[in-house]
Structure 1
């Protein structure tokens, strides 16, 4: 647990530094500096890109992590880098062919969407290639228990580059055409940096070595890869189909509003991503050694820690919504309910911890694929029914329903198959206390009236809320791991 705790903390620090930059960029500058359809275009390109990347990876990153102990027993990690890199490039070329063939379908349904999307459509290729290579080398590094660099580059550096582009719009008025190339570079520069960092790890080798691929191992590896292609593709469909379908039914303006609102849900998921990245190699080794006690401990502690972090962030978002919407142009107001609905769904996701990683890395991983298939149908049907009637709020409701369904099923399967149950009285304590503090903080009188006053209001309100929340949670001792993290943060301050 010490390795997970240390790397999760470091990753979380970079993640939330990235959140600050992301809030400035996605929350404040993009709505004020770009048109809603330009905002929507960025969200739509990202949605297509993440689906593209899942197809192109051909399941290697998941399978590589699952079976990395077998590669690590050989010199140069058994040609892991050569094999993974070759598959990534092949997958990119394959997915590019599919993308070119399907382009007319993407552009056919709306002339408004076709014009701007057609102009920038092929930017999907460089951002997808950059993301494919980044994900592969980040996965390789995480298999060697180096999880911080990927988070730093992906969550912090990438967002910093985008912020620089937006600042250039504000200061010297660069065009959107120039800005979007800076945006593209934000997916390329971290990838180059990640490759260099990976090459510095021990026993890095580009030499081919297929000795690990015995007939038995090859069969297991390919079967797992095929299943995770389906699982990963399904996951991306579920996460990003809302923006694609919202564009189809409404247009890029609606997608632009939704893109800004959904950013706040992604903020809440940062801590779970950081913990999952650190936990995966430990869980893999624990399953290899049949150490179910370690996995149960990770699962239980991850749930209560993520619930605490989720309540802190969601509460901070809720109490500042009124001031935030005073800072962005009119036309984004409907995003307030989108934030609330997506936030509730994400809070449930956090409360179930690393159940997805536990299930996917166990011998019952096939169940995860079955869940994903059913979830695709649920998500698409929910969006088809709710978006035409309720537009942005319908997309948010569909996403929340899918999140509740997915995590409930995973929780039940982990309980039934692995006999692991993470919840106890501490969960109820966290929920009740958090709700009381959030309600009290929300009723602090608003300052408002100007940009400065709104920013001041958010700063004061957030400081009071977070201070009270952390002190109460610390005193309640509902998570010894959280208390330990707080002690580590406060120790240098107390010494000074």
Structure 2
């Protein structure tokens, strides 16, 4: 897992730099310069632009499975990028038509709060376009075994620019109306930057090569795109439909509270997101070369490594939940258990490793689409039942339940079809370790100084959880990483 480990570490490093920037913007500045309604507006615009950008590519991202057949740097990968843009621009035109005719259904203008969404609704068009183009180019960059560039631009650069826009509000340099246009512009800048980077590398070519695409390959691409619409859209529906339904049920204020809590909860998923980016290409190559042992190894290691990393982050956040909400205005207090259930959902997903990547890149990729279609139905039903009963916490419970069903289905499919079983005694041992550490840390009385209290709890969790994981050798990769760092920085490099 040399390439995977290296790219994952780099991606996670930049992701956490982005988290640091995001902390200042989302938790220290945004709640104090924007009302919950305005936070909800930004959350909805982000939600819909991400979802519509994914739909606009018409499932083309699923063709990453056959990119190894296109790969030819001297011939600009036989027109792969040009084909991606041809299909995606066609999808974007269809989206624009749908956005015009479905505006009333999307906005759901039932109360005065949603008038704000109606006012800025048309920002969805440019926001969706720039998100779509960025996603296409990031996918292409990942196919070149470079996941770091996309991570830097999406997780770090974009958040840094958004922080700058919020600072303009903080110092009263702009009003909210002007801020929304500045926010739109800064969200388009990473797209321009990735275009420039690929151009400098001589990797940006929109030339089409229809002669290369013979009938069998064309048929496979059509099938992949068809099923990829479901496969690619499902995760975004699972993660974002709740905000739409909360807005419809309760309005933008509750949407803003949920959006902020959800953002905190998604921090837990960062290690997994970095891993998914690079393993897609590696596993697709392994299937092509019929290297089943490599796939089994990646599957097994991804499960335990992701579980350890996400459980560590979950402990850091949940043990300090009272300190996190000490910073925020009281209007956001109802979001605490949203963080808990969103965190549980991502823990479940992380513990099952790269199961979705394995299915999506195999010859059974259609089944990932079937799972996706079923899980969209489960998500909608769960939200319809739980949101009216439990409010925004119900939406988080629905998300956790959906992720459990989704990943259990994938796990059983891989077990039955490929005979791959990634778990060992280390899996329950890791969970028991996490529970024990939380019980110990939670027993400590809170300090009146929330900063000191946060530092103490974070330090104890790091020492107890990481120390125990290292001592029990729960992950060979993590132990080797720690040993290498210790040799490099504490003992000097050995020759």
Distance 1:417 1:333 in 2: 46
Report SS of the residue matched to 1:207.
coil
**Maintained 8 Å contact 1:387/1:393:** yes
Report SS of the residue matched to 2:188.
helix
Q: How does 1:22-171 map to 2 (within 5 A)?
A: 22-63=22-63, 65-73=64-72, 75-171=75-171
**Maintained 8 Å contact 2:61/2:228:** no
Count of aligned pairs between the two proteins: 491
Distance 1:164 1:491 in 2: 39
Q: Give the alignment's TM-score, normalised by structure 1.
A: 0.96
Shift of 1:187: 2.1
Distance 1:489 1:44 in 2: 42
Report SS of the residue matched to 1:105.
helix
Q: How does 1:181-330 map to 2 (within 5 A)?
A: 181-201=181-201, 204-330=204-330
Who is 1:482 aligned against?
A: 478
Deviations 1:382-426 (A, max 9, x none): 111111121111111111111111010011001111111100011
Distance 2:273 2:108 in 1: 36
Shift of 1:204: 4.5
Distance 1:201 1:142 in 2: 14
Distance 1:442 1:163 in 2: 33
**Maintained 8 Å contact 1:78/1:211:** no
Shift of 1:45: 1.1
Who is 2:413 aligned against?
A: 413
State which of 451, 465, 468 in structure 1 corresponds to 2:464: 468
Deviates more, 1:65-74 or 1:197-206: 197-206
Shift of 1:12: 0.5
Shift of 1:236: 1.7
Distance 1:59 1:98 in 2: 17
Shift of 1:109: 4.3
Distance 1:139 1:185 in 2: 22
Who is 1:388 aligned against?
A: 388
Distance 2:162 2:202 in 1: 32
Shift of 1:9: 0.4
Report SS of the residue matched to 1:114.
helix
Deviations 1:30-62 (A, max 9, x none): 222210100111111111112211111111122
Distance 2:143 2:35 in 1: 42
**Maintained 8 Å contact 1:27/1:263:** no
Deviates more, 1:471-480 or 1:163-172: 163-172
Q: Give the alignment's TM-score, normalised by structure 2.
A: 0.96
Distance 1:109 1:168, change over 3 A: closer
Do structure 1's residue 15 and structure 2's residue 11 form an aligned pair?
no
Distance 1:490 1:17 in 2: 22
Distance 2:132 2:484 in 1: 36
Shift of 1:168: 2.2
Shift of 1:495: 4.4
Shift of 1:457: 2.2
Distance 1:108 1:184 in 2: 22
**Maintained 8 Å contact 2:39/2:259:** yes
Deviations 1:425-480 (A, max 9, x none): 111111111111122122233223xxxx3233222321222133222211111111
Distance 1:205 1:225 in 2: 21
Task: Return 5+ residue gaps in structure 2 as ranges.
Answer: none
Distance 1:188 1:281 in 2: 26
**Maintained 8 Å contact 1:320/1:458:** yes
**Maintained 8 Å contact 1:134/1:194:** yes
Shift of 1:128: 1.0
Distance 1:380 1:474 in 2: 41
Distance 1:182 1:459, change over 3 A: farther
Distance 1:29 1:81 in 2: 39
Deviates more, 1:227-236 or 1:144-153: 227-236
**Maintained 8 Å contact 2:162/2:187:** no
Deviates more, 1:175-184 or 1:209-218: 175-184
